[in-house]
C-alpha cells in the first residue's frame, strides 16, 4: 500500500508542477502590468497573511534580490491566497485588504484564457490543489483522501477523493490555457493507477468512516 501511495504521489507531482508554474507566472505578469514588478511588496495590494509570506521569502533569498527570485520562492499556498477574499492589512490590521478590489478586478480575472471562472471558483480550485501539494510534501497518504484543513460540512471533516483532485488540476489548467488542460488530461491521466483494485480498496476503507464528508 505504501508503495502504491508513493506511485500516486509521484504521478501527481508533474501535473501539479506544471499548473503551479503557469499560474504563478501568469499572476506575476498581470500584477506587474498593473502595479509594477515589485507588486508583492505593496501592502495596499495583498493582505497581511500574504505579505508575511513574501517577507519570509525575502529573508530566504536576500533583500536585494529580484522580484523573479521572490516569485520562484513563494509556494502554491501564497498564489492560491491571492484569489481568496483577503484580510487585515500588514501595515494597519484595522484596514481590510479586499483581493477582489486590489487584484481580481484590475488584474487577475484577465489571465484565464479559456472560460470565465469566478474568483470564488479559482479560489476553491487552487486551494484544493494547494492542500494536495502540501500533503504530498509532508509524505502523508493520498489514497485515503485529501483532507481539506479547516473545512467542514454538516459538522464533518471534508475530504476529497484523489480522482476529483486530479479533475481540479485539469480544470484549473484548462482555465489558464486550453492546451495545458489537454496536456494534463492526455499525458498525465491518473485513471489507471487510481482505478487499481488496491487504490479502490483504500478509498472504500477511508469512506467507511462515518465522520467524513467526501467531495
Cβ atoms of 145 and 162 closer than 8 Å: yes
What's the pLDDT band for 122 if we cut at 50, 70, 90? very high
Which of 13-22, 106-115, 135-144: highest mean pLDDT?
Answer: 13-22
The residue whose grid cell reads 476529497 is 160
What range defines the domain where residue 68 resides? 2-214
pLDDT at 99: 98
Q: Rounded to an integer, what distance in angstroms lies between the CA atom of residue 57 and that of residue 69? A: 9
Question: Which residues are CB-contacts of 163 (< 8 A; sequence separation ≥ 6)?
Answer: 190, 191, 194
- Contact predicate 135/8, CB 8 Å: no
**pTM, two decimal places:** 0.92
pLDDT for position 61: 86
Res. 72: pLDDT tops 80: yes
Q: How many domains does the chain have?
A: 1
Amino acid at each position: 500500500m505504501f508503495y502504491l501511495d508513493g506511485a500516486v504521489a509521484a504521478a501527481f507531482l508533474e501535473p501539479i508542477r506544471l499548473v503551479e508554474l503557469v499560474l504563478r507566472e501568469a499572476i506575476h505578469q498581470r500584477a506587474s502590468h498593473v502595479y509594477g514588478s515589485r507588486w508583492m511588496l505593496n501592502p495596499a495590494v495583498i493582505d497581511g497573511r500574504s505579505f508575511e509570506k513574501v517577507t519570509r521569502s525575502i529573508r530566504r533569498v536576500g533583500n536585494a534580490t529580484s522580484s523573479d527570485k521572490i516569485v520562484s520562492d513563494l509556494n502554491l499556498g501564497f498564489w492560491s491566497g491571492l484569489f481568496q477574499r483577503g484580510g487585515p492589512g500588514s501595515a494597519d490590521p484595522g484596514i481590510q485588504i479586499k483581493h477582489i478590489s486590489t487584484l481580481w478586478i484590475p488584474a487577475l480575472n484577465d489571465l484565464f484564457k479559456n472560460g470565465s471562472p469566478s474568483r470564488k471558483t479559482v479560489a476553491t480550485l487552487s486551494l484544493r490543489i494547494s492542500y494536495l501539494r502540501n500533503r504530498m510534501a509532508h509524505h502523508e497518504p493520498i489514497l485515503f483522501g485529501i483532507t481539506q484543513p479547516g473545512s467542514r460540512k454538516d459538522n464533518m471533516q471534508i475530504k476529497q477523493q484523489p480522482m476529483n483532485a486530479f479533475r481540479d488540476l485539469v480544470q484549473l489548467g484548462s482555465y489558464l490555457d486550453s492546451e495545458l488542460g489537454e496536456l494534463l488530461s492526455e499525458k498525465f491521466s491518473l485513471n489507471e493507477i487510481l482505478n487499481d483494485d488496491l487504490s479502490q480498496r483504500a478509498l472504500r476503507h477511508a469512506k467507511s468512516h462515518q465522520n467524513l464528508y467526501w467531495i
